[in-house]
Structure 1
Amino acid sequence: MSGVEKIRTKEFWRAVGAEFLATLLFVFLGLGSTIGWHDAASGTSPTPPPNSGGPPLPDHRVLISLCFGLTIATMVQCFGHISGGHINPAVTLAMLVTKKVSIVKGAFYVVAQLVGGITGSALLYLITPEKRRGTLGVCTVGEDINEGLGLLVELLLTFQLVFTIFATCDSKRTDLGGSASFAIGLSITIGHLFGIPYTGANMNPARSFGPALVMLSFDQHWLYWIGPILGAIIAGLLYDYLFCPDCCKPSPGQVIPKAQTGTYKEVDRDGPDSMQMVKRKKRTERKDPPPTREVLSTV
Structure 2
Amino acid sequence: MPIRNIAIGRPEETTRPDTLKAGLAEFISTLIFVFAGSGSGMAFNKLTNDGATTPSGLIAASIAHAFALFVAVSVGANISGGHVNPAVTFGAFVGGNISLLRGIVYWIAQLLGSTVACLLLRFVTGGLSVPAFSVSSGVGVWNAVVFEIVMTFGLVYTVYATAIDPKRGSLGTIAPIAIGFIVGANILAGGAFDGASMNPAVSFGPALVSWSWTHQWVYWVGPLIGGGLAGIVYELFFISHSHEQLPTADY
TM norm structure 2: 0.90
Q: How does 1:245-264 map to 2 (within 5 A)?
A: 245-247=240-242, 249-254=243-248
**Residue 194 of structure 2 corresponds to residue 199 of structure 1:** yes
Paired with 2:57 and 2:84, the residues of 1 have a C-alpha distance of: 24
Q: In the alignment, which of 18, 23, 35 is matched to residue 25 of structure 2? A: 18
Distance 2:91 2:226 in 1: 9
From 58, 77, 85, the equivalent of 1:80 is 77
Aligned length: 242
Quick one: which of 30, 37, 46 aligns to 2:37?
Answer: 30
Q: Distance in 1 between matches of 2:126 and 2:57?
A: 20
8 Å CA contact 1:3–1:103 kept in 2: the answer is no
**Residue of 149, 152, 158 corresponding to 2:146:** 152
Aligned to 1:81, what secondary structure does the other structure show? Answer: coil
Given the superposition, is the C-alpha separation of residues 38 and 6 from structure 1 closer, same or farther in structure 2, using an over 3 Å criterion? closer
CA contact (8 A) 1:93 1:232 kept: yes
Matched-pair identity in %: 33
Distance between the aligned counterparts of 1:90 and 1:142, measured in 2?
Answer: 22
Q: Which of residues 233, 236, 239 in structure 2 aligns to 1:238?
A: 233
Aligned CA distance change for structure 1 residues 139 and 3 (closer, same or farther; 3 Å): same
2:55 alignment partner, one of 49, 53, 58: 58
- SS of corresponding position for 2:77: helix
1:164 to 158, 166, 169: 158
Stretches (4+) displaced over 6 A: none
Any gaps of 5 or more consecutive residues in structure 1? 40-44, 49-53, 255-294
Contact 1:16 / 1:112 at 8 angstroms: preserved in 2? Answer: yes
Q: Which has the higher contact order (CA 8 A, sep 6+)?
A: 2
Change (3 A) 1:177 1:206: closer
- 1:15, 1:148 → 2: CA distance? 35
Mapped partners of 2:170, 2:34: distance in 1? 33
Q: 1:86 to 1:171 in 2, by over 3 A?
A: same
Secondary structure of 2:41 counterpart: coil
Mapping for residues 80-229 of structure 1, pairs under 5 Å: 80-130=77-127, 133-134=128-129, 136-169=130-163, 170-174=165-169, 176=171, 179-229=174-224
Give the TM-score normalised by the residue count of structure 1: 0.76
Conserved? CA contact 1:91–1:232, under 8 Å: yes
The equivalent of 2:3 in structure 1 is: none
Instruction: Answer 1 or 2: which has greater strand percent.
Output: 1
Give the drift of 1:244.
Answer: 4.5
Aligned equivalents of 1:57, 1:9: Cα separation in 2: 47
8 Å CA contact retained: 1:253, 1:296: no
Aligned in 2, Cα 1:213/1:104: closer, same or farther, shift over 3 Å? Answer: same
Work out whether residues 131 and 210 of structure 2, in 8 Å CA contact, stay in contact via their aligned partners in 1: no
- d(CA) in 2 for partners of 1:118, 1:8: 23
Larger Rg: 1
Distance in 2 (CA, whole Å) between partners of 1:21 and 1:13 is: 12
User: In the aligned structure 2, how far is the partner of 1:148 from the partner of 1:176?
Assistant: 35
Distance 1:127-1:148 versus aligned 2 partners, 3 A rule: same
